[in-house]
Amino acid sequence: MIRAVVFDLDGTLIDSAPDIWNAANRVLKEARLPSVTFEQSRSFIGRGARVFVERMELAVTGANDPARTAHLHARFLHFYERAHEDTRIYPHVPEVLDSLREQGLRLGLCTNKPFAPTQAVLRHLGWAETFEAVVGGDTLAVAKPDPAPLMEVLRRMDLALPEIAYIGDSETDAETASRAGARFGLYTEGYRKSAPEALFHHFRFSDYRALPQHLMAPA
């Protein structure tokens, strides 16, 4: 029986791609490097801030230089933590989260977004107390698709895999769930690059109002 739902954040609960793009181009402008398009920036999302910066740097310079990457990463985190103005919550998410909590389900968060920007955006959205456990992309030494961050959320909530459903939007989330052996719900309106049919999932949905029904269905 499902006792808790663990969510990814970017591309699953919120669309933060515009703010991530703005932060990226502020960093590039500061470093006197060419800017990236929104489509490029969106394609870099999914494996955490460090990988995002490496992909961005490679796209605009043709190479990754360790010292330059470290500098760009530090400056990206500076802007990223303050980038909330254009982030939007996906339709019907707030009422569904409230409904799940009213039904007695516990909520957790497992994201590759670094912990500080995660906490900042949760405060900005009024969700500082919504999730019982929050694990960011830099909380552990490894990030998704390694299953360790998801398992850390479960450890903090004192739950076992059969007691949770994990909800995400991307190849990274699908691989995380597959490697962990977790029940996985794919939100199809996020940042994935592959067809939904190609990704590991137990159910998929495009409208959050359908999520409670999926969670009640037999695994």
- What is the token pair recorded at 163? 């007691």
Q: What is the pLDDT of residues 56-66, one digit of tens each?
A: 999 999 999 99
Higher pLDDT, 40 or 218: 40
pLDDT of 80 reads 82
The answer, yes or no, to whether residue 34 has pLDDT greater than 80, is yes
Window from 12-21, 42-51, 155-164, 189-198 with minimum mean pLDDT: 42-51
- On average, the pLDDT of the chain sits at 95
Q: Report d(CA 105, CA 101) in Å as an integer.
A: 5
The answer, yes or no, to whether residue 173 has pLDDT greater than 90, is yes
Percentage of residues in the chain with pLDDT exceeding 70?
Answer: 100
Q: Report d(CA 139, CA 54) in Å as an integer.
A: 19
Domains, the chain, with CATH or none: 4-15+88-216 (3.40.50.1000), 17-80 (1.10.150.240)
> Closest Cα to residue 188, out of 166, 162, 170, 209?
170
Percentage of residues in the chain with pLDDT exceeding 90?
Answer: 87
Q: Report d(CA 38, CA 42) in Å as an integer.
A: 6
Window from 76-85, 104-113, 135-144, 192-201 with minimum mean pLDDT: 76-85
The residue from 8, 10, 15, 173 that is catalytic is: 8
Section 173-191 average pLDDT: 97
15 included as an active-site residue: no
pTM of the complete model: 0.88
- Top-ranked range on mean pLDDT: pick from 42-56, 80-94, 163-177: 163-177
Banded pLDDT at 47 (limits 50, 70, 90): confident
Do 74 and 53 meet the contact criterion of CB atoms below 8 Å apart? no
Q: Report d(CA 113, CA 111) in Å as an integer.
A: 5
pLDDT of 49 reads 87
